[in-house]
Amino acid sequence: MHFHWAKLENIINRGGGDLAVKVYNSTADEQLADTDVTLSLDGVSRKVPAGDTLTLTLGENIIIDPNCYHEFWERGGVSDRVLVGEVSKVNDDATDNRFHGPVGRFSDIEEDEAPLHLLANDYERYYGTS
């Protein structure tokens, strides 16, 4: 469950099963608000109760505004997998994500092989420069 301070995103179910999306507004102190959430579903403005879980079937989309808490997961349907696309404003994951509960950005990985390709944040560790 998270929101973005600046990023606007359009989430699209591109294939497979159904996509569940739960939404809340955020309060001034960044908690879950108990107020109706206004969203755009397939280009139509819609108001839903706080904590409502919407189901997007193949081809459907939802536009999520900044400061709107959301989480999504595969809900079944035609397949037990879903392909999701996102069209959004540019954002910086390090500064534009507000998670409702504690969560790490990446899982801990026990490195037992040298990397084949470096990520941008790997260069300092391997070459001493960024």
Domains of the chain, CATH where assigned: 2-92 (2.60.120.10)
Q: So what's the pLDDT on residue 110?
A: 82
Report the predicted TM-score, pTM, of the whole model to 2 decimal places.
Answer: 0.77
Q: So what's the pLDDT on residue 53?
A: 97
Q: So what's the pLDDT on residue 106?
A: 66
Cα-based angle 23, 45, 66 (whole degrees, multiple of 5): 45
Q: So what's the pLDDT on residue 93?
A: 79
In degrees and rounded to multiples of 5, residue 48 shows phi and psi of -130, 155
Q: So what's the pLDDT on residue 105?
A: 62
Q: So what's the pLDDT on residue 104?
A: 67
Positions in the chain whose pLDDT score sits under 70: 104-106, 129-130
18-25 sheet: strands from edge to edge: 53-56, 18-25, 68-76, 2-4, 97-99
Q: So what's the pLDDT on residue 130?
A: 53
